[in-house]
Amino acid sequence: MTNPYSRRRFLQLGATALAGAGGALLLPGCSDNNNDRGYANCSRNPLPQDAQGRWWLSNNYAPVFEERDEVGLKVRGELPRALNGLYARIGSNMADTDHWFLGHGMFHGVRLQEGRALWYRNRYIHTALREAGTDDLNPSDPVSSFSNVAPIYHGGHLLTMGEVGLPYETDPSDLSTVGVFDYGGALAGSMTAHPKIDPLTGDMLFFGYDFRPPFLMFYRANAAGELVEAKPISLPASVMMHDFAITRRHVIFYDLPVVFNFNMAVAGSNFPFSWDFDHLPRMGVMPRDGGDADIQWFEVGANFVFHTMNAFDNPADPNEVVLHASRIDGPFWVDSNQDLSQPSYLTEYRFNLVSTTVTENRINDIPLDFGQVNRGLWGQPYRYGYGMDFSERSTGPALARPLGIVRHDHQTGNSETVRAGRGVSLEEAIFIADPESGGETDGWLVCYAYNENRCASELLFFDARDFGAAPIARVELPVRVPHGFHGVWVPDAA
């Protein structure tokens, strides 16, 4: 049973540890929808409504509690026979929480084999918190994590991350929890939700942040899954840094004004982050073979970034680094950090390492987030980027409903959107490359969707080579998959 005082206790502990230090905590971020009229067709199977009106516990955000095993899944269309493996997406799943970002992690997975959908399973990540039957996060204990934000597969390990604490490992054959993962004791602190794998070296780059200095640590694990590098990074305060970016030669950090708020923590806030008007917004470009002293910091406009699309070293100018990320104009989270209605726009940042200047330009006028590329081009020049279309705005503080997937052509500047059909709201779509082809668009965009006409969820497959066409396949699930955060593809051959 949820302890209504546990998060307050956690933050008071964190505030005590921070006295004279600074501080940071937690963030995930992702998914879709909450607009009551979007669920009107489900009168025969009404969705839950939170008695306190909390949008993250209502409609298809509401948690599910039964761990299901479903076989004999119905497929409409034809699944790609080249995809053999597991698609899994994680999210926050808790009956009573005061923020969408704070809830026990739950995986929802579908296994594919030779054009068939063998099973759907949902499983809690059995963290130390869940095993103890509590949501009492302990900032001094690295195994204390909801592990609910994002998964990644690297070095033979399927890992799930929160923003606080160590990652947890899951067995992709059945979604059972293996246990906390700390690289054989080499990783002592937090691991961010958005590591990046260099497709050329196989190295995984990531960071973690904490309440106490050093507020930020940068890490590198080699292709074999061994932690081989750890570097402290100096920051003036403990900021919420949900994502970062890599190129062939550089790493880009986001030091932006959503900052741990000590007074909110002392007052018992469950999620003490807010916009700090005194915090200088900046981004830091660090050589991958360098360290803290080598970072060039660039002052940027007042903004916040949850998610990166990609970044690369400009092949036409060795002194320029280019970043594409979804920018939320500041100020952000001044009145309430439960408000996720403010739109973000795909923005290009160009950092000149000689003149130490930066330019910032909006790429298009589509409210877009959860940027994706063919991950074989992570950190490299690329043409096509994908993201979720949030053009339909929420009427309140809830995250808007993404009804389509946007593809932006960085070569021509054109954008186009594909929609899944009336009454279908989408989750984050990830690009899964065709293992039998090597072109940039050779692959599929795959995502969960909630179909209000069926009052249940499905897994959709769009062919990126024929962008704009209807899904080539829909795996119809007999259950509801609550709106969540990020997904991963784990190929059987990996």
- For residue 29, the model assigns a pLDDT of 30
Domain assignments of the chain as residue spans, ordered by start: 6-491
| 7-21, 267-281, 340-354, 365-379: least confident range | 7-21
Rounded Cα–Cα distance for residues 211 and 106 (Å): 26
- For residue 265, the model assigns a pLDDT of 82
pTM of the model: 0.92
- How many other β-carbons are positioned within 10 Å of the β-carbon of residue 176? 12
Is the pLDDT assigned to residue 100 strictly greater than 50?
yes
Question: What value does the mean pLDDT of the chain take?
Answer: 90
178-195 average pLDDT score: 95
Scan for tokens 């877009």, then name that residue: 368
Is the pLDDT assigned to residue 34 strictly greater than 60?
no
DSSP alpha helix (H) spans, 122-177 = 128-131
- For residue 39, the model assigns a pLDDT of 54
Query: Could you report the per-residue pLDDT of 232-247, keeping only the tens digit for each?
Result: 999 999 999 999 999 9
47-62 average pLDDT score: 94
- Preceding peptide of 214 cis, ω within 30°: yes
What fold, for 6-491? Methylamine Dehydrogenase; Chain H (2.130.10)
* Token pair in block for residue 55: 């949008």
Residue 38, SS3 per DSSP: helix
CB contact at 8 A, 160 and 93: no
61-66 average pLDDT score: 96
> What is the strand order of the sheet 250-255 is part of?
245-246, 250-255, 282-287, 296-299
- How many other β-carbons are positioned within 10 Å of the β-carbon of residue 171? 12
